[in-house]
Amino acid sequence: MESLQSIPDITTAEQLETATNHLIADLQRAADIAAPQLKPTKEQAARRWNVEVRDAVQTALKAQRSYTSAPSPLTYKELQKARQTQTKAIEVAKRPSDGVRRRRIRGPKAAMGPRKVGTAAQPQAIGPSQNARALQDSRNNANRANT
Q: What is the dihedral of CA 35, 41, 45, 46, to 10 degrees?
A: -90
Beta-carbon contacts of residue 12 (< 8 Å; ≥ 6 apart)? none
Residue-wise pLDDT for 75-129, tens only, equals 999 999 999 999 999 888 887 666 555 565 565 555 555 555 555 555 555 555 5
Q: How far is CA 73 from the centre of its chain?
A: 24
How many CB atoms are located within 10 Å of the residue 63 CB? Answer: 21
pLDDT value of position 10: 83
pLDDT value of position 93: 85
Give the 3-state secondary structure of residue 50: coil
Cα–Cα nearest to 56, from 32, 83, 77 = 83
**Number of helical (H) and strand (E) elements in the chain, helices listed first:** 4, 2
Rounded to whole angstroms, the Cα distance separating 71 from 61 reads 15
Give the 3-state secondary structure of residue 116: strand
51-69 vs 73-94: helix axis angle to the nearest 10? 160
* pLDDT above 90: percentage of residues in the chain: 27
Rounded to whole angstroms, the Cα distance separating 145 from 29 reads 80
Residue-wise pLDDT for 16-53, tens only, equals 898 899 889 989 988 888 887 777 666 666 777 788 89
